[in-house]
Amino acid sequence: MADTLTGPAPAQPGTHAARLEHVSKAFGRPGAAQPVLEDITLDVAPGEFVCLLGASGCGKSTLLNLVAGLDKPSVGTIETPGGRPALMFQEHALFPWLTAGRNIELALRMRGVPREQRRPEAERLLSLVRLSGAYGKRVHELSGGMRQRVALARALAQDSRLLLMDEPFAALDAITRDVLHDELTRIWAETNLSVLFVTHNVREAVRLAQRVVLLSSRPGRINREWAIDIPQPRRIEDAAVADLSVEITDELRGEIRRHGKH
């Protein structure tokens, strides 16, 4: 029988890795601005894995960019007490002229890690994502799944306690995605990171998260939340995962119908 991954211990009351209070975001000129997010209040506890779920265009990625500090809310406040979060995109965004190891070392250099410590740390991070021996490989020599592992190692190199992930596995085939779900769950449990993960894939959200937050269609508002008490490791085909995914999918479909989105 597989060992159960319990994840980090529950956070103490009053602590948080990220806190959003009454956050709204609109784009456009004053008087003609289009609201994208409206009155979002959300806490992510230290060590918690939260998935943001919603239909395309509901503002999930905009919300992640606000937490990352890439943009500012129109209204409301965002706190990340542990410092600037690390951000991992859907595309790997690796520099093709650098090796896997050098891509990670670039993040280490920007963090101020001394030159003599960068290669050992890059190799440690590659080992953490199970790419030992890939330090000298160039991007074109890596499969899609391997590139995302390097991108994850580069995000971890930023040494942030909050990892933001914007549909990082959406472009991968189902088998590779499932393997990386296992790897991400393992790394999360080992490192005690807080994770805020954006997806439109309901089963992926239930497969990974401790809590799933459903956003309404634009403007995005928090529609409903689910605490996921299914023990890890989970499989995407597990009956409990499938049953809860049906419930959340029904809620998502209802939200889409209410807003006339197809």
Distance CA 164, CA 166 (A): 7
With respect to residue 99, please indicate whether it lies within any of the assigned structural domains: yes
Range of the domain at 194: 15-85+162-262
Q: Give me the tens of pLDDT residue by residue for the chain, a chain 262 residues long.
A: 334 444 444 444 448 999 999 999 999 877 777 899 999 999 999 999 999 998 888 899 999 999 999 999 999 999 999 889 999 987 778 999 999 999 999 999 999 999 999 999 999 999 999 999 999 999 999 999 999 999 999 999 999 999 999 999 988 999 999 999 999 999 999 999 999 999 989 999 999 999 999 999 878 999 999 999 999 889 999 999 999 999 999 998 888 777 664 4
Regarding whether 175 and 63 lie in a shared domain, the answer is: yes
184 and 262 belong to one structural domain: yes
- Verify that 175 and 255 share a domain, yes or no: yes
Tell me if 150 is assigned to some domain. Answer: yes
d(CA 169, CA 179): 10
Same domain, 253 and 131: no
Asked if residue 167 and residue 74 are part of one domain, the reply reads yes
* Best CA proximity match to 38, nearest among 59, 17, 55, 53: 59
Position 131 scores a pLDDT of: 95
Using CB atoms within 10 Å of the CB of residue 65, give its burial: 0 to 12 exposed, 13 to 18 middle, 19+ buried: middle
Distance, in Å, from the CA atom of 139 to the CA atom of 99, rounded to the nearest integer, reads 7
The CATH number for 178's domain is 3.40.50.300
Q: What is the DSSP letter of 140?
A: G
Q: Are residues 97 and 67 in the same domain?
A: no
Is 4 contained in some domain?
Answer: no
Q: How far is CA 122 from the centre of its chain?
A: 21
For residue 219, CA distances in Å to 107, 167, 223 come to: 35, 20, 11
28-36: long-range contacts, CB 8 A cutoff, minimum separation 24? 33/74, 35/218, 35/219, 36/62, 36/218, 36/219, 36/220
- Same domain, yes or no, for 172 and 244? yes
Q: Which among 141, 159, 177 is the end of a domain?
A: 159
Report the domain count for the chain: 2
Task: Evaluate whether residue 5 is within a structural domain.
Answer: no
Say whether both 147 and 214 belong to one domain.
Answer: no
pLDDT at 260 (0 to 100)? 63
Single out the residue of 191, 190, 138, 201 nearest to residue 166, CA to CA: 201
Do residues 77 and 169 both lie within one domain? yes
- Whether 71 and 37 have beta carbons less than 8 Å apart is answered as no
Residues 138 and 236 both lie in one domain: no
Beta strands in 109-240 (DSSP E): 162-166, 194-199, 211-215, 222-227
